[in-house]
Chains A and B, each alone.
Chain A
Amino acid sequence: MLARVNQITFAAPLREAWSQVWFQDKPTSSLEIARMGIGAALVLHYGLATPYLLTFWGDDGWMPRALLANEITDPWQQSVFFYFTAPWQWSAFHAFFLFCCAAFMLGWRTSWVKWAVLIGHISYDYRNPIMTYGVDSIVACLLLILCFAPVGRAMSLDRVREVRSAKRKSLGASPPAFTSPWAFACTRLMQIQMAVLFFFSAIGKLTGDDWRGGDAIWWLFTNSYYYNNDILNLLASQYWLVNVATYGTILIEIAFPFLIWQRRSRPYMLAAALFLHLQFAVLMYLYYFSWVMIMGQMSFVRPEWLSGLGAAWKRKMGEMEMIYDGACGFCKRSMAWFLAFDGLRQIQIRDFRTNPSPIVSDEQMIKAVYLVLPDGRALPGFEAYRYVVLRVPGLWWQVPFFYVPLFSRLFGHPIYNWIAANRSRL
């Protein structure tokens, strides 16, 4: 009996601590940022490699299949390219992979495209393993965690579809933001991955004479690949900068895995890591690597910071009330689409048929949708949408259509007016 009491006494706090470390109910927001960033990097990277598809990964390219046996010795190293025989199969797969990367970035059908992206990325790596470098491994590590995670539940087209579906039933509906203990566990896994990466990167440097002696950065910039005469001139005349940069790099890398966990030191460590990787991007041209590392570091961005940022943005932009015609089916369907992109819920709505506006008359409302601003201004039709798309982050993708100088207004007004006049037939 006593043993059982002791077991309960000790087990409960342990379970509580375990849940605190791994399974807090949190949103997926930081993982979604990583998803979008890594997806964008993959689209760009593999997209620009398209002209070299058969050179890099084809059987008549740099790595003929016969030579691959030197590198691929483990049956667990698998690639879909191992099973292709005709060039069109490479092209078809590459097109499919790029499509999946774009869908992953946008969060469209995320639950399955994320696996296609992971399998594709690993397949490219194993088809020509000697061409890959550190960032390709980092991408694989982060992608696997994103595959485990319930990503695509926020900041995604999947979320837009979910909200739109609810708003088709009632425009005032707003499905609650997704949170789950598993989302937090996956965020934690990504954090541990980044901390491990920084730690072993620092340890590796500490075993080398170049780094311990403080000269590593000098040797780096004398390299033909990173050579820059202006930087080398500066470093040669002020050699202490070489020592500061060398030891500073090690210091940030060794401090990161220890100080990133504390509430107070986290913002400083994140800023230091960000600074380090921006240096790599600007001075060493390692854009892809730096971008992917920064996306991995996004896992340390607290959801509270993001919601605070969202609230501040909402306050700065001010309230917006969109008045629509509730008797028009097309208007309601369009509003459901439009509002589905308003993740911060910045736009209030009013149906003038059931709730007439004190500012815009019913006669005006028959002609166009109106946006009423806190200062009492009322913007009609095209101008209403033009105002909103710049201020609602989920609608920024429409900015190019609404803000092309001259053309947007020249074509936008007549197109909007035609649609408004014919809305009962649409």
Chain B
Amino acid sequence: MSLLVVWHTLAIVVAPSPDSAITRSARLLFEPYLTLFRLENGWSFYAPDVRVESEFRYVVEDASGERHTFVPADKLSRFHPIDIWVKDWYIHVMDTPETYGDAVAAYLCREHALLHPVSITLLEIEQNEFSPEDQLSGKHPFDPEFLDEKTLTTVQCPNE
């Protein structure tokens, strides 16, 4: 019993500890245990800095050439527990479109099959700094002057 409490205590202290020669050697020992039970975490919530998160949007181009813009965040409900999972997923896709862009686009092609999509364009809406003075002067953090649109990738949908 004593061995288990010592082992587990050391493991949960080693897991978030900053990188050093000591923690590196300790990690070698604890890594399988930490990974198997998913105890690995740095516990750095909103740290070191608060990231102003971009918004994910996508455009479906249909067979007639019409472009339909979708904002997934608009469909989410803050009261639904999956909301944050979905948000985190899109953040990851925006961070690594070269890895996940094709898979997301393929999924969206299937989801919007009724529109007969030809292509999907993934967009990242970057938010710029918004000061208290901006707020007091009646501006809004999502006014066009505070947003930059960045095209992540355009993927062709498979022919039906």
Contact = CB atoms under 8 A, between A and B. Distances in A.
Given A56-B85, A196-B43, A200-B42, A76 B32 contact: yes
Given A137-B40, A137-B41, A200-B16, A189 B88 contact: no
Given A192-B12, A236-B136, A286-B84, A205 B48 contact: yes
A114 B6 CA distance: 22
A143 to B, nearest CB: 9
A189 B8 contact: yes
B152 to A, nearest CB: 15
B99 A70 contact: yes
Given A52-B82, A205-B48, A227-B141, A22 B2 contact: yes
Interface in A36-70: 44-45, 48-49, 52, 55-56, 60-64, 67, 70
A136 B88 CA distance: 12
B76 to A, nearest CB: 9
A122 B48 contact: no
Given A76-B35, A130-B89, A134-B41, A223 B12 contact: no
Interface stretch (B19-27, B60-68, B114-122, B127-135): B127-135
Interface residues of A, number: 77
Given A205-B46, A220-B50, A235-B132, A185 B1 contact: yes
Given A49-B82, A134-B41, A62 B89 contact: yes
A375 interface: no
B80 interface: yes
Interface string B84-108: 1111110010000001100110010
Given A45-B81, A77-B35, A132 B48 contact: no
Given A133-B84, A237-B132, 18 more contacts: A22-B2, A23-B1, A49-B81, A49-B82, A137-B38, A138-B41, A141-B12, A144-B39, A192-B12, A197-B16, A201-B47, A207-B48, A208-B48, A210-B48, A223-B127, A224-B142, A225-B53, A285-B79
Contacts of A56: 82, 85
A225 B85 contact: no
A178 interface: no
B29 interface: no
Contacts, number: 180
Interface of A: 18, 22-23, 44-45, 48-49, 52, 55-56, 60-64, 67, 70, 74, 76-78, 118, 122, 125-126, 128, 130-134, 136-138, 140-141, 144-145, 148, 181-182, 185, 188-189, 192-193, 196-197, 200-201, 204-205, 207-211, 216, 218-220, 222-225, 227, 229, 232-233, 235-237, 239, 285-288
Contacts of A55: 107
Nearest to A229: B140
Nearest to B141: A222
A132 B132 contact: no
13 contacts: A45-B81, A60-B110, A130-B92, A132-B88, A137-B39, A141-B12, A200-B42, A208-B48, A210-B48, A220-B50, A225-B87, A235-B135, A288-B84
DSSP majority for the A interface? helix
A224 B127 contact: yes
B145 interface: no
Interface residues of B, number: 60
